[in-house]
Homo-oligomer: A and B are copies of this chain.
């Protein structure tokens, strides 16, 4: 069902010097596919991470934040099939025990391991299954396993999400590769579902942090499938320095900007892939709100449209029922909102101008746009200079089916 999203070819996903990965089938996922991923980050790397803002964050998020505050991470352990969320003290103990099991196998301190989980909320993670798989997991570490890893972190995803890009910094070839998972409970807030992005560039910690923050703001933090912020969102950016470029210590140099653009592009492609593979999605929707007083109010209007079940079901039905978009704009809560200034477009078709039905609009014109798989909804507020863009999908029978049957 994914909208214009296909499995990347193995040769398109490039290895990153200094990063090795492995996957295993620990028997956590009910469908019997791989459910455990280990990512090894070479010594001397810098690592940045952002996490969900959900107050009920999962046990692994709590532990990952704690560990990351103490040492630079060397290993990321990710399981799918079980979120280890809503699991109380026992869940925290299990998350730590998973890290300990890796640490003792690779002779590292426990804090050098960050745990991540995704899957069903409210069930204890089976520690024994994880432990049993660890020796094989460590033995299997290899540079080539990015696509396998993308596959193993999937839950309701239908397509594995991975993307690579290369840029040159002062003649040095630099590679960036990222993977992500996510399909439902998607409305990231400061972070996202799970995503791991690595580069062989050398980047100072503060610059890496800034790059991740900025890239995710324009990608993972601008998407929504269903408005439900996950308890387990996390995004990690790793820089191994193995490409031997001059360490990037200033964000405003042309080298930093070149690399940042590559990282931002990868983040956005992964974020879009999550929406394209949104639960039950049949359409990929861009909502752009222009000429607001600030980006925050543009985003507020955009998300009100993106989260409206009425707009989303009309999109599913390819019904140019623009009245629902108008109603969503109207209830989005802007102060001193003057609707006589508003214009609404479906792609290039003007539907509303100065708050009135556009003179040249016809149902046939609207229908033509709505029949497409990719649609741009553009709202012009005419009260300032700010713009913001978010991406979402429609709301189909299959969304209900997937989420009604999720635990059966």
Contacts and interface: CB of A to CB of B under 8 A. Distances in A.
Given A54-B331, A121-B326, A337-B55, A319 B407 contact: yes
A85 interface: yes
Contacts of A70: none
Contact of A310 (B226, B314, B317, B401): B226
Interface string A178-200: 00000011010100000000000
Contacts of A406: 314, 319, 321
A402 to B, nearest CB: 8
A86 B397 contact: no
A309 interface: yes
A90 to B, nearest CB: 8
Interface stretch (A126-134, A349-357, A385-393): A349-357
Interface in A224-279: 226-231
Contacts of A88: 355-357
Contact of A357 (B87, B228, B231, B357): B87
A185 to B, nearest CB: 6
A308 B228 contact: yes
The A interface is mostly helix, strand or loop, or mixed, namely loop
Given A321-B406, A339-B56, A327 B226 contact: no
A269 to B, nearest CB: 25
A397 B184 CA distance: 17
A328 B55 contact: no
A315 B220 CA distance: 28
Nearest to A401: B397
A345 interface: no
A321 B86 contact: no
Given A331-B55, A357-B122, A400 B323 contact: no
A334 interface: yes
Interface in A282-339: 307-310, 313-314, 316-317, 319, 321-324, 326-331, 334, 337, 339
Given A88-B357, A319-B404, A356-B88, A327 B399 contact: no
Given A396-B400, A399-B400, 14 more contacts: A55-B334, A55-B339, A56-B329, A83-B323, A86-B323, A88-B357, A120-B323, A189-B331, A226-B309, A228-B327, A228-B331, A309-B403, A317-B404, A319-B404
